[in-house]
Amino acid sequence: MKAKQVVLISAAFCVFCSCAAAQQVLAARLKTDVFEVRVEQQYKTVRPEGQSALAVHFKLKKDWHFYASAKTAPGQMNLKIEPSARGSIEFSEVILPKWHMYFDKVSEQKLEVFSGDFTVYVPFSVASDASGKVY
């Protein structure tokens, strides 16, 4: 059952990120019964040659977590944030928070996880020839 929920959560988050990027939402939010994700911009506008970041705030219910590392996550199902945009925006490497160890009773293994409230930062820069259109 939990495996299905992890897949559903992953799919919901992917759809959420795609919708937020496509609509250029200033502050987007996705909420389910086990987690909430909110995306916040550092600046309302960013000029050509400017830099900024998106903050992706996660709030997970007690006893829920996202796997932090492909090395320890079952089936390499760790949290992945892979931003992309065509045109004038270039994303830098995503900044993940510090993970902690979690002992999984089912697999009898220690796993690297994110849980509770945490934030992932997604830095980006705008090209010097930016036209104002982002796809």
Q: How many separate domains does the chain show?
A: 1
- Would residue 132 count as lying in a domain? no
Express each pLDDT in 21-30 by its tens digit: 433 444 588 9
Domain that holds residue 48: 2-126
- Is 135 inside a domain boundary? no
Of 79, 89, 95, the C-alpha closest to 37 is 79
In a domain, 118, yes or no: yes
Lookup: tokens for 84? 């992309």
Classify residue 131: in a domain, yes or no: no
32-44: pLDDT as tens digits: 999 999 999 999 8
The larger pLDDT score, comparing residue 89 to residue 86, is at: 89
Phi, psi (5° rounding) for residue 102?
-135, 130
| 62 belongs to a structural domain | yes
- The H or E element spanning position 35 is strand 35-41
pLDDT at 106: 85
- Decide if 11 is inside a domain: yes
